[in-house]
Amino acid sequence: MNLSVKITSFCAAALLALGLCTSAMAADTIKIGVAGAHSGDLASYGLPTVKAAELVAADINAAGGINGKKVELLVEDDVCKPEVATNTATKLVSEGVNVVIGHICSGATKAALPIYRDAHVIVMSPSATNPALTQSGDYPNFYRTIASDDAQARTEVNFAINKLGVKKIAVIHDKGDYGKGLAEFAKKFIDDSGKAKVVLFEGITPGAVDYSAIVQKIRRSGADAVIFGGYHPEASKIVTQMRKKRMKTIFISDDGVKDDTFIKVAGKYAEGVYATGPADVTANPVTREYREKYKKAYGDEPGAFFDNAVAAALALTNAIAKAGSTDPAAIAKVLHTEDVATPFGMIHFDKHGDATGVGFTMYQVRDGKYVQVQ
Amino acid sequence: MDYFVELFFSGLTRGSIYALIALGYTMVYGIIGLINFAHGEIYMIGAFTALIVSTVLSIFGFPLPAIIILTALAAAIWASAYGYTVEKLAYRPLRNASRLSPLISAIGMSIFLQNYVLLAQTPDFLPFPALIPDFDFMEPYAGFIGSSDLVILVTTTVIMILLTLLIKFTRTGKAMRATAQDRKMAMLVGINVDHVISITFILGSALAAIGGMLIASHIGQINFYIGFIAGIKAFTAAVLGGIGSIPGAVLGSFILGLTESFATGYVSSDYEDVFAFSLLVLILIFRPSGLLGKATIEKV
């Protein structure tokens, strides 16, 4: 609990009792730090976030600010370098920043986070995807509006356990970096959930002429569902052989399989197969609104992580407004519990700080087409 | 027990797929002592031909049995033409060179044909229609063995028997055996050796094409690279069984297929290749010329 919070709560109490303090609060501003790569070779990753924060802040200030306070942006460059990011963070903290949007790169974010944590500043990155940033539990003050590198596996596992209610899952992969990495995350999530069991975890040889042995093994394992990490040539062979052996086991895979070639090749056997893929947000009114505002203001298309940055700015400002103060604990509570409309739809943050519904979503093959089912 | 039987049939399916390709390898090796690395590519070209022909025929509304027979014929003839040409262009000029030269030439042909199909057709995977329907009488056994598995198994056995008969009891077969034993001596007694070798390549290629058609129909997809991967395994099987021996190729293929299947079933599919190749090493240590290969005695 720092001094400014005490003053704020005092003022809030006084406001209720006497109707005073208004002039003192109007002079006060909500300081939002925007940190990331704003120069150097990775500037193109960081600058759209600054623009997004400016657009959101301008909207809020035009509408009278948050709870009567104007939003002030403190933009600081970290050049995407961890050693610079610590200085950036120290500077922002010493300037009394309330929340921070950033940083952009995972390495820089990781370096800066302990400084913010010790100062009780909430940080929300639009682009840092390293899974450990949220999942290690080291940085309870950290949130993000982008899917972490393991998000696909998480989407698959959550869908299998919570939506489909399966209890026994066979995790199969193609031994490649992409497939095996995904499968390992999936296995970890299933084990951690405690609601389902991994009954089989195996790698197959890509390009083999026949997968009936592994298919028989899946049947013997008694799995209700298969989560496959890999690409569509193997997925279509496995699905085809499972269905030919009259197995109705649910098949869930990744964006390596969410490819029309899979449906063409597996044909009727592709029906009912689930695959994750990036959610299509272009139809979302919030996405459109901010993309158009950007175009109007800057004349070209918004760059990398723009939608994510808009989501972060909206989520943070909404949380401050709903919390009625800049107390980190109050903001955190709102972030975790209340949905906010963003370019990715209504989102809130899970207990690790990852935004729900951002990044990957589940599709199913229905009548020869991938249809979004979430 | 059920699980054992299931794995056994999985192994048989894999084995018979390997055998269909391995037969061509072993025939060519038996006659001219050349490891024809382009054989896998002939198999792939057979599969592509089958895809094109069967698609055209089904557009014209031919009944399924007619499609299967005509497709098999067209694929066999077209692939044979390739096999014949490859032999004539890449191997015949090197007939009297050291053993290494035609081997390098074969690898070159393999790479050439792969990239030729990649450029002329597509780098993508293409769906292959299921030419073999699900037989009604197979329905109770669908959990163990599919209809296409059965067809491949039967075809492999029939081809193995026919080839053995051809080589043992016909004039051409006798000429082949003579060429295999001693090419110079065969020429002296009036055998047209070039002709015999051409026939060998044509036969091997036709087999590969039929294999390509059946296997692609079983797997349901093809691309330019399928021949290379399948070819490596089939070649391993042929070596295991004793390269040059027709029953050896089939035996080797079944042993390889069953080993992989049981390794997957009882240990882990992560290690199926480890088991398969460990077995190969073991067998080659104790029987250097393979299971049914003839031990060659070096004449000094």
Domain at B11-286: CATH architecture? Orthogonal Bundle (1.10)
* Candidate from B126, B142, B233 with C-beta closest to A246: B142
Burial zone of A296 (CB within 10 Å; 0-12 exposed, 13-18 middle, 19+ buried): exposed
Tell me whether residues A246 and B260 touch, CB distance under 8 A: no
CA dist list (Å): A239 to A25, A42, A71, A119, A374: 63, 42, 54, 52, 22
Amino acid A44 reads S
Which of helix, strand or coil describes residue A159?
helix
Chain B residues within 8 angstroms (CB to CB) of chain A: 3, 6-7, 9-11, 13-14, 17-18, 124-127, 134, 142-143, 146, 149, 215, 218-221, 223, 225-226, 229-230, 233, 260-262, 264-265, 268-270, 272-273
What does the pLDDT profile of chain A (374 residues) look like in tens digits? 444 444 445 444 444 444 444 333 444 899 999 999 998 778 888 899 999 999 999 999 999 889 889 999 999 999 888 999 999 999 999 999 999 998 998 889 999 999 999 999 999 999 888 888 888 889 999 999 988 878 889 889 999 999 999 999 999 998 887 888 889 999 999 999 989 999 999 999 888 888 989 999 999 999 999 999 988 889 999 999 999 888 999 999 988 888 888 998 888 899 999 999 877 788 889 999 999 999 999 888 888 889 999 999 999 999 999 998 889 999 999 999 999 999 988 899 999 998 887 778 899 999 999 998 86
Task: From A280, A293, A258, select the one nearest A358 (Cα to Cα).
Answer: A280
Chain B: give the shortest CA distance to residue A314, in Å.
Answer: 43
- Please count the residue pairs, one from chain A and one from chain B, whose beta carbons lie less than 8 angstroms apart: 95
Q: What is the pLDDT of residue B13?
A: 87
Q: What is the pLDDT of residue B124?
A: 80
The bridge status of strand A274-278 relative to strand A360-366 is: antiparallel
How many Å apart are CA B115 and CA B41, to the nearest integer? 10
Q: What is the pLDDT of residue B136?
A: 84
Q: What is the pLDDT of residue A25?
A: 42
Chain B residues with CB-CB distance to A229 below 8 A: none
Tell me whether residues B226 and A207 touch, CB distance under 8 A: yes
Chain A residues within 8 angstroms (CB to CB) of chain B: 175, 202-205, 207-210, 212-217, 219-220, 232-233, 236-237, 240-241, 244-246, 261, 264-267
Chain B: give the shortest CA distance to residue A187, in Å.
Answer: 16
Q: What is the pLDDT of residue A14?
A: 45
In the predicted model, is pLDDT for residue B265 greater than 60?
yes
The bridge status of strand A122-125 relative to strand A99-101 is: parallel
> Model ipTM?
0.86
Q: What is the pLDDT of residue A23?
A: 38
User: Token digits for A190?
Assistant: 């299933």
In the predicted model, is pLDDT for residue B209 greater than 90?
yes
Q: Nearest-5° angle of CA A8, CA A11, CA A12?
A: 85
How many Å apart are CA B17 and CA B11, to the nearest integer? 10
Chain B residues with CB-CB distance to A215 below 8 A: 10
What is the residue whose two structure tokens read 């000029």? B93
* Candidate from A203, A244, A267 with C-beta closest to B127: A267
- Superfamily holding A3-146+282-347: Response regulator (3.40.50.2300)
Chain B residues with CB-CB distance to A267 below 8 A: 127, 220
Amino acid A70 reads K
Most A CBs within 10 Å, among B16, B135, B149, B264, to test the A interface: B264
| Residue A40 dihedral angles phi and psi, to the nearest 5° | 85, -170
Q: What is the pLDDT of residue B296?
A: 59
Count of CB atoms within 10 A of residue A340's CB?
Answer: 22
Question: What residue in A sits closest to B273 (Cα-Cα)?
Answer: A205
Q: What is the pLDDT of residue A15?
A: 44
Q: What is the pLDDT of residue B141?
A: 82
Q: What is the pLDDT of residue B297?
A: 56
Helix extents (H) in chain A: 3-18, 22-27, 43-62, 82-94, 106-118, 132-135, 151-158, 177-193, 212-221, 232-244, 260-266, 285-298, 306-323, 328-337
B226-264 pLDDT, tens digit per residue, is 888 888 889 999 999 988 888 899 999 999 999 999 999
Burial zone of A251 (CB within 10 Å; 0-12 exposed, 13-18 middle, 19+ buried): buried
How many Å apart are CA A156 and CA A250, to the nearest integer? 12
Chain A residues with CB-CB distance to B212 below 8 A: none
User: Token digits for B273?
Assistant: 């290749």
B10-67 pLDDT, tens digit per residue, is 899 889 989 989 998 898 888 888 888 999 999 999 999 999 999 999 999 899 999 9
User: Token digits for B255?
Assistant: 């042993």
Helix extents (H) in B170-189: 171-181, 183-188
Residues whose CB is less than 8 angstroms from the CB of residue B294 and which lie 6 or more positions away in sequence, other chains included: B242, B244, B245
Q: What is the pLDDT of residue A311?
A: 93
Is residue A316 a contact partner of residue A101, using CB atoms and an 8 Å limit? yes
Task: From A302, A334, A301, select the one nearest A320 (Cα to Cα).
Answer: A334
Q: What is the pLDDT of residue A16?
A: 44
What residues does each domain of chain A span?
A: 3-146+282-347, 151-272
Q: Is the dihedral of CA A317, A318, A324, A326 positive or negative?
A: negative
Domain at A151-272: CATH architecture? 3-Layer(aba) Sandwich (3.40)
User: Token digits for B30?
Assistant: 């038996």
Chain A residues with CB-CB distance to B230 below 8 A: 209
Q: How many CA atoms lie within 13 A of A95 on its CB side?
A: 20
Percentage of the residues of chain B whose pLDDT score is greater than 90: 53
CA dist list (Å): A208 to A213, A234, B255, B269: 11, 8, 16, 11
Q: What is the pLDDT of residue A3?
A: 46
Question: What residue in A sits closest to B234 (Cα-Cα)?
Answer: A209
Is residue A218 a contact partner of residue A228, using CB atoms and an 8 Å limit? no
- Mean pLDDT of the B63-73 span: 93
- Mean pLDDT of the B60-87 span: 94
Chain B residues with CB-CB distance to A204 below 8 A: 269
What is the residue whose two structure tokens read 């393999």? B110
